[in-house]
Amino acid sequence: MLKKWVMGVFIISLFCSLIGCRGQLRQDVLIMGSIKEYSDRSVILSLSSTLHENSILHVTLKENGSDQIAWEGETKVKEDGYIKYEFKRPKILEQYKLEVLFVPDKQPASVKEIYGESGEYIREDSLGYRSYTYDGKKVDGIVMYGILTTFDKETDGKSQHKSWELVSDFANIESMLE
């Protein structure tokens, strides 16, 4: 009888240990949004996400066909997951590739607890999920893409604007331009 009782306690202890050691659940991350660009160089990025409050998103512009960053900035996710970020593009007559990046190792400690130091707790089937190198480190993060096109030099004093959706694969940008 004592042998069965000890065996039962052992099995229950083992089961509890395994449940406690199963590790952090992976988080599903979703970033969606749109870009509005205006002929006065203003750009408004409107995003909604499942990221936790105070998560930092990096925004970069690269000149068409180049990996050189022409402009960069960052913004924080609000409590409701919404982000509205306004900035001025460097040149109106230049086309830019826009990237919105969630870089796990550039996050505050409270956000790293959720997504991991290098993104190890982000679900791999999250839209825009990428393993990439950032500042010389391999990280698992989210990258979404957009494009800023050129405007005609002469606008006759009228404000023009264009709107685009963010996509998870830069190859889809070409279809946006057609």
Share of the chain above pLDDT 70, in %: 78
Q: How confident is the model at residue 4 (pLDDT cuts 50, 70, 90)?
A: low
Check residue 77 and give its pLDDT. Answer: 96
Residue 108 half-sphere exposure toward CB, CA atoms < 13 A: 11
How does residue 21 score in pLDDT terms, banded at 50, 70 and 90?
very low
Task: pLDDT band for 22, please (50, 70, 90 cuts).
Answer: very low
Mean pLDDT of 46-69: 93
Q: Is the pLDDT of residue 67 over 80?
A: yes
Helices assigned H by DSSP within the chain: 2-20, 109-115, 173-177
pLDDT value at residue 59: 96
Strand ranges inside 79-158, DSSP E: 82-88, 96-102, 129-134, 137-148
Distant-in-sequence contacts of 155-158, Cβ < 8 A, 24+ apart: 155/39, 158/39
The whole-number average pLDDT for the span 144-162 is 75
How confident is residue 125, by pLDDT bands cut at 50, 70 and 90? very high
pTM reported for the whole predicted model: 0.79
